[in-house]
Amino acid sequence: MTIATRSSRHRHRGSRQALRRNRQRVQRQEELANRYREQGQYLRAELLFRRALAHSQRLFGPDDFDVASILNNLGILYKYQGRYAEAEPLYRRALAIIEQLRGADHPDVASIYHNLGGLEHARGHYARGEPMARRSVAIRERALGADHVDVAADKAALAALLDGQGKFEEAEALYWQAIAVFERAFGPEDLELSFSFNKLAAI
């Protein structure tokens, strides 16, 4: 058995602290990029996301969770910009990393399936997006329960894909389920609630 000397313990502690600082720095870059995206400053957001991605891959390796998080957020940015062909491989790479790290039934996996389904909805490929949205609902409902707001959001997203295919009866039922959860969680004046009522009225 090898016993670490005092100097080697200090080096290990120092390296852990450096890793923690680097991770915090990358995460701050990602948070700022997300704020730029929310403000519509897409060019600044993209530059910062790409910088954070390069740093995280160099510091932590290509299969790190922070790498997956940045890939997912960059994919969301590209979806906002209509750059669907660029968004999809980012989502799929993020999905592969998260499934490897956390397992196929983790809620973070559901988030990527939700985004993939939303990407197909934006493309008008409703049938292609449906199984992804169903997978998201199934994973998150098992993990969080049917009354969780994230499950309700997944159901509303699935309903939109079904609506696009003319599957109105199932879409309507899902919208009502989502509305019930949103109303309990946020009250009758919530924005998500109004979106769901609007889509329900359209059906």
Q: 128 lies in which domain range?
A: 104-203
Q: Are residues 81 and 158 in the same domain?
A: no
Q: In Å, how far are 28, 44, 131, 161 from 81, measured between CA atoms?
A: 23, 13, 24, 20
Q: Are residues 108 and 201 in the same domain?
A: yes
Q: Are residues 38 and 125 in the same domain?
A: no
Q: Are residues 72 and 32 in the same domain?
A: yes
Q: Are residues 136 and 91 in the same domain?
A: no
Residue 169 has pLDDT above 80, yes or no: yes
CA separation for the pair 185, 155 (Å, rounded): 15
Boundary of a domain, candidates 85, 102, 119: 102
Q: Are residues 21 and 49 in the same domain?
A: yes
Question: What's the structural domain count of the chain?
Answer: 2
Reference 84, options 45, 129, 49; nearest CA is 129
Residue 96 inside a domain? The answer is yes
Boundary of a domain, candidates 64, 84, 102: 102
Q: Are residues 49 and 143 in the same domain?
A: no
CA separation for the pair 129, 124 (Å, rounded): 9
Boundary of a domain, candidates 87, 102, 117: 102
**pLDDT band, very low/low/confident/very high, at 181 (cuts 50, 70, 90):** very high
Residue 6 inside a domain? The answer is no
CA separation for the pair 74, 62 (Å, rounded): 15
Q: Are residues 31 and 72 in the same domain?
A: yes
Q: Looking up tokens 């997203």, which residue turns up? A: 157
Per residue in 5-43, pLDDT (tens digit) is: 454 454 455 688 988 999 999 999 999 999 999 999 999
Q: The CATH number of the domain where 163 resides is what?
A: 1.25.40.10
Per residue in 109-147, pLDDT (tens digit) is: 999 999 999 999 999 999 999 999 999 999 999 999 999
Q: Are residues 39 and 86 in the same domain?
A: yes
Q: pTM here?
A: 0.87
Reference 198, options 156, 139, 150; nearest CA is 156
Q: Are residues 115 and 20 in the same domain?
A: no
Give pLDDT, residue 50.
97
**pLDDT band, very low/low/confident/very high, at 2 (cuts 50, 70, 90):** very low
Residue 8 inside a domain? The answer is no
